[in-house]
Chain A
Amino acid sequence: EPEVTQTPSHQVTQMGQEVILRCVPISNHLYFYWYRQILGQKVEFLVSFYNNEISEKSEIFDDQFSVERPDGSNFTLKIRSTKLEDSAMYFCASSGTAGNTIYFGEGSWLTVV
């Protein structure tokens, strides 16, 4: 069964450093997403991406964050100058169309120290 894969599974970084989280969405999907789950809190939408541009973003997704599809298979989330409060599980997801079932990856745990 096709799945969304994410790397790394866990990353520890120092405050102020840049982090890139990588994702390979399901191959025939066109919509890509990043969600975040701070420990003990609900899963929150960060951004959606379609046709090489951001289609929607939340208020969390400020200038510190950026997304990119550098090639035909990868989808990345870059966090510049990480802060302690960026520590969370980051989920990549994809769907065939907007409003269709969203499939999530296993997540990337980011710990900022």
Chain B
Amino acid sequence: AQSVTQPDIHITVSEGASLELRCNYSYGATPYLFWYVQSPGQGLQLLLKYFSGDTLVQGIKGFEAEFKRSQSSFNLRKPSVHWSDAAEYFCAVGGVADYKLSFGAGTTVTVRA
């Protein structure tokens, strides 16, 4: 069975500080990994994805994530957080020919001035 664990329910970070959100997955085959962001009352916006190749992937809004197969992790990072990054972040896993994504419970990020 596939699953995603996001260990941090809520993170508070100061504007300009770095941010790292943790994601661990369980998947029986080669995983496809995604990070989505959801601002309050909004839909799910794709930040970045990993299918294969370079294990460090760049996304929109200055985010990056690193796939570590040995640790079954796909952590999301941003070097300098902006107030507009306050949102809920979801990690998700799927696979080739897989019809569905499994989502983690999400991490809520609060940015303080």
Interface residues, chain A, with chain B CB atoms under 8 Å away: 31, 33, 35, 41-45, 48, 50, 55-56, 58, 91, 98-99, 101-107
Contact = CB atoms under 8 A, between A and B. Distances in A.
Nearest to B94: A99
Q: Is the interface of A mostly helix, strand, loop or mixed?
A: strand
A44 B32 contact: no
B58 interface: no
Contacts of A56: 99-100
A105 B96 contact: no
B67 interface: no
Nearest to B103: A43
8 contacts: A41-B105, A42-B105, A48-B99, A91-B44, A98-B97, A99-B97, A102-B34, A102-B101
B100 A43 contact: no
Contacts of A58: 100
Given A43-B44, A43-B90, A104-B44, A99 B103 contact: no
Given A43-B44, A105-B43, 11 more contacts: A41-B105, A42-B90, A42-B104, A43-B92, A98-B97, A98-B99, A101-B34, A101-B46, A103-B46, A104-B45, A107-B42
A45 B90 CA distance: 14
Nearest to B44: A104
Contacts of B106: 42-43
